[in-house]
Amino acid sequence: MKIYQFRVSIIGIPKLYRIIEASENCTFDDFHDAIFQSFDRYDDEEEYE
């Protein structure tokens, strides 16, 4: 299984970044959750319904 590594930053704050690793079978939803968790952010799922 392949593991991909991404450097994720917030627009306007390039010095603030996280390294996220995702497997080849990771969904976009899983990837989104990993990014938000790494920055201590959480979605309000009702917002998208």
**pTM flag (> 0.85):** no
> pLDDT band at residue 46, thresholds of 50, 70 and 90?
very low
pLDDT in tens, 11-45: 898 899 999 999 999 999 999 999 999 998 766 65
Query: What does the alpha-carbon distance between residue 30 and residue 26 come to, in Å, rounded to a whole number?
Result: 6
DSSP strand E in 1-49: where? 3-10, 13-23
Of the candidates 34, 37, 38, which has an alpha carbon nearest to the alpha carbon of residue 16?
A: 38
| Domain boundaries defined on the chain | 3-44
Residue 47 has pLDDT above 60, yes or no: no
Query: What does the alpha-carbon distance between residue 7 and residue 19 come to, in Å, rounded to a whole number?
Result: 5
pLDDT at position 49 is: 52
pLDDT at position 10 is: 87
Q: Judge contact between 30 and 21, C-beta under 8 A.
A: no
Output DSSP code: residue 12: T
Token readout for 19 is 């390294």
pLDDT at position 40 is: 86
